[in-house]
Amino acid sequence: MEAEQPGAEIQRLQLCINDLVGILALPATWVRGEPPAIVESLLDSLMRMVHLDLVYLRLRDPVGDAPRELVRFDRWRQDAPRPQEVGQLLSPWLDADPQAWPARLAIGGTVGGADLAILPQRLGLHGEIGLLVAGAARAGFPRETERLLISVMANQATVGLQGARHLSEQKRVAEELDRRVARRTAELAAANAELRRQMAERRQAEEALAANERNLDQIINSIPGLVWSTRTDGTAEFFNQRYLDYVGRLSGAMQGWGWAAAVHPNDLPGLIDAWRSIRAQGRSGEAEARLRRFDGAYRRFLLRVNPLHDEEGAVVRWFGINTDIEDWKEAQDELRDTQAELARVTRVMTMGQLTASIAHEINQPLSGIMTNASTCLRMLGADPPNVAGALETARRTIRDGKRASDVIARLRDLFGKRGTAAEAVDLNRATEEVIALTSTELQRCGVSLRMELADDLPPVTGDRVQLQQVILNLVLNAAEAMRDVDERQRELRIATGRLEAGGVCLAVTDSGVGFDPAAVETLFNPFYTTKSDGMGIGLSVSRSIVQNHQGRLWAEPNEGAGATFRLSLPCRDGSPGGMAAAAGQAGHP
């Protein structure tokens, strides 16, 4: 036996050398070969030379029309797994370093239930081509000779696949070049034909253009609008009949600059300046002015004008149309008045929710006044009178009276009917004043309040009362959302902070019933409400107020229970904000 071992080893080395020679010869057979044939030859050669039970090949990017995954077994069976199934089994290690792969792998039913010793090999220096996995059930796999054969085979496969990829790319480029040449040839032929057709048709187009110019007056005159045209110097040359009927003047009186007589005297200077600017720019423009009707009434019009260019791009004429916008303007004015009134009504509606809080705020100082007044009378009626004590009691009476007066003043500001006033607003201070009005209501509802107001918060520009109305609405909505919550604490969190992109923000977070994320935008629609006794205008008005302050108001469901309403406003001085004051989304409190 000892004498036979060296011979067997020499025989294995000889077979290995023969196999190496065969492997080194493979690229010559792969020259100009198709990628699928290269892959098939690679796997068949490995199975034959190394007597493997499993060979699995996975390419990172398919080469040509080669499959992305391919597998070979030592025998074919009807129930042989697909390459994707083997790939799923090997997936935990496919992207790992080959040194980190396990020495053996339980394939299960894949190859008769035996465990395989496996040897992974990268294709390419860093595995950029793909991965080759060889496996065998026999003991002692892989021997050094087998490891050498598989390693050389992987290197040869890399060379062959790279060559196939280059050939495939060259073929693709050549085919693309052929397609482009063919397309360009067809385009040139079509362009030549089109050029000839245009020179067959140019004279006809010139004749048609002349006919169109002759019919232009008739065409414009049939348009249902106040249509006009001018020369390049701005002097009028044409008005359709509808225009002449509206102003009640003849065409001759409107020629040149005669049209200016129908413009309201206060609007004429601005209109002439706008008309001069539009002509200087040589492009479309618009302006607004009041035109006098034939009966002497003035109505607002939107004047739009477009230039007509020649072939060189020079303006040869101007065409315009005037649209009556008087009714639209009145509707806009009415809408603004309605929005302002709706905001005031919303403030008044919230008074009902604050009745207990208001009564508490006023009753406290009034009760103090009555108590102090009674005490003062007793001190003065004593024998001898306690003048010093009576004076101190009188001072407390005045203090409580002033406190009651301040409460009433705040309520008058909040619920009174007044115009918008732009001023510097401290968002922290405005929030604290709202909380002072709602503290009793929150206590009555069993709500625990947590305030996290950022230090050194820059002021914003806006109407303090309107912004407080928004905060008040958000606080009361949060309390309402927690009214029926019994299984957890009713917690209300109010936080302010700076935005990373500049500006300030405020967040109102509750632990209430929350809302459906799919209906997040519906919350701000007018007359949409989830309350049985609500009108659905509070959030809509609040968003309008914030948008009028160049800000943004939106809602987010919490990860747990409840919801968070956020508003952001620009800083008064435009200074950039720092880091946000509290947790949440980046830049949000």
- Report, as an integer, the average pLDDT of 165-177: 79
Over 80: is that where the pLDDT of 584 sits? no
Query: CA 8 from chain center: how many Å?
Result: 73
Q: Is the full-model pTM beyond 0.85?
A: no
Residue 191 inside a domain? The answer is no
Residue 39 pLDDT > 50: yes
Residues 12, 114: one domain? yes
The C-alpha atoms of residue 315 and residue 468 are separated, in whole angstroms, by 55
Q: Are residues 389 and 457 in the same domain?
A: no
Tell me which of 262, 295, 324 is where a domain ends. Answer: 324
Domain with 284 in it: what CATH number?
3.30.450.20
Average pLDDT for residues 498-507, to the nearest whole number? 88
Give yes or no for residue 216 having a pLDDT over 70.
no
The mean predicted confidence, pLDDT, of the chain is 78
126 within domain boundaries: yes
User: In this predicted model, what pLDDT tens digit does every residue of 63-93 receive, in sequence order?
Assistant: 666 667 778 777 545 566 677 777 777 778 7
Q: How many domains are there within the chain?
A: 4
Residue 165 is assigned to a structural domain of this protein: yes
Determine, yes or no, domain membership for 179: no
Give the model's pLDDT for residue 197.
80
557, 464: one domain? yes
Question: Once rounded to an integer, what is the mean pLDDT over residues 553-557?
Answer: 90
pLDDT of 319 higher than 70: yes
Residues 167 and 238 in one domain: no
Which of 298, 324, 350 is the last residue in one of the domains? 324
Residues 371 and 504 grouped into a single domain: no
- What CATH number did the domain enclosing 482 receive? 3.30.565.10
What is the helix (H) or strand (E) element at residue 314, kind and residue range? none
Judge if 380 and 454 occupy the same domain: no
Residues 6+ apart with CB under 8 A from 563: 481, 509, 510, 512, 514, 515, 555, 556, 557
Q: What is the pLDDT of residue 111?
A: 47
Same domain? 431 vs 541? yes
- Are 359 and 481 contained in the same domain? no
Domain boundary among 402, 417, 432: 417
Q: Quickly state the pLDDT bin for 290 (edges 50, 70, 90).
A: very high
> Which residues constitute the domain of residue 446?
420-589
- Report pLDDT digits (tens) over 518-529: 777 777 776 556
The sign of the dihedral angle between the CA atoms of 54, 97, 155, 11 is negative
Residues contacting 274, CB < 8 A, separation 6+: 285, 287
Residue 35 lies in a domain: yes
Domain co-membership, 363 together with 475 = no
The reply to whether 183 falls in a domain is no
Tokens, residue 29: 């057979």
DSSP assignment of 1-21, as one string? -TTHHHHHHHHHHHHHHHHHH
Query: What's the CA gap between 567 and 524, in Å, rounded?
Result: 13
Q: What is the pLDDT of residue 495?
A: 95
Structure-token match 């109305």, residue found = 469
Residues 434 and 412 in one domain: no
- Residue 466: HSE in the Cβ half-sphere, 13 Å Cα cutoff: 27
More confident residue, 486 or 61: 486
Domain match, 36 and 18 both? yes
Provide the CATH number for the domain around residue 44: 3.30.450.40
Residue 355 included in any domain: yes
Q: With the CA atoms of 512, 516, 519 and 523 taken in that order, what torsion angle do they form, in degrees rounded to the nearest 10?
A: -10
Lowest mean pLDDT among 49-53, 315-319, 520-524: 520-524
Q: Is residue 46 part of a domain?
A: yes
**Which pLDDT does position 577 carry in this prediction?**
38
Tell me, yes or no, whether 239 and 228 share the same domain: yes
